[in-house]
Amino acid sequence: MKRTGLIALLLVTPALLIVRAVVRYNEQQVMMDRVFGTEEEQHTAAARIIASEQSAEDAGASAGVHETEQSCLDKGFEAEKSGPRQYARLMHFLEGCLRVAQPTPGFCAQVPPYRATMSLEEEERSKAYQDALCRKEGFTDWECRASVRMVQLHCHPLR
């Protein structure tokens, strides 16, 4: 009889551990769904963001056909100042607008390049440019600096 109890214990213990792991996984999945939404909700949100980005880029391109590089920058910042701050929208607006705008003489002369890998000196110059332009426009947050990178990438395209 003792042997049967031992065999039952050896068979039941792994099954209980598996059940416990499955229950914990399900509890964590429910918590993740509460925080991040279900997979379907995540896909819907991602599609909405992509559509918004494309819309902003299209709006920038439509505006840029009749603008100069400098006026694209001015219009982008003006939109940020007059409405809710949506820096992702500003980034994509600038990307579309600058791509088709007429050149502004000297626009890129003081714009340092932006790259994923830069020397410390290049990184400091890039950050100083971003900070100066953002402060000039009345912004002091990192999202503005990220938006200004579109100007840097326009003036110094990645190869």
The tens digit of pLDDT for each residue in 85-114 reads: 677 888 899 999 999 999 999 999 999 999
Q: What is the pLDDT of residues 110-134, one digit of tens each?
A: 999 998 889 999 999 999 999 999 9
The answer to whether position 3 is within a domain reads no
DSSP code for 118:
-
3 state DSSP class of 46: helix
Residues 6+ apart with CB under 8 A from 137: 77, 80, 81, 144
The answer to whether position 93 is within a domain reads yes
The answer to whether position 112 is within a domain reads yes
**139/80 Cα distance (integer angstroms):** 10
**Residue 62 burial (CB count, 10 A):** 13
Query: Where residue 1 falls among pLDDT bands split at 50, 70, 90?
Result: low
The answer to whether position 151 is within a domain reads yes
Do 151 and 73 touch, CB atoms closer than 8 A?
yes
**81/74 Cα distance (integer angstroms):** 11
Specify the number of domains making up the chain: 1
Q: Could you give the angle at which helices 69-82 and 39-64 cross, rounded to 10 degrees?
A: 130
3 state DSSP class of 115: coil
Neighbouring C-alpha atoms within 13 Å toward the C-beta of 64: 24
Do 147 and 87 touch, CB atoms closer than 8 A?
yes
The answer to whether position 72 is within a domain reads yes
Instruction: Residue 78: give the domain boundaries.
Output: 40-155
pLDDT of residue 142: 81
The answer to whether position 31 is within a domain reads no
Residues 6+ apart with CB under 8 A from 64: 72, 96, 97, 98, 99, 100, 101
The answer to whether position 137 is within a domain reads yes
The answer to whether position 127 is within a domain reads yes
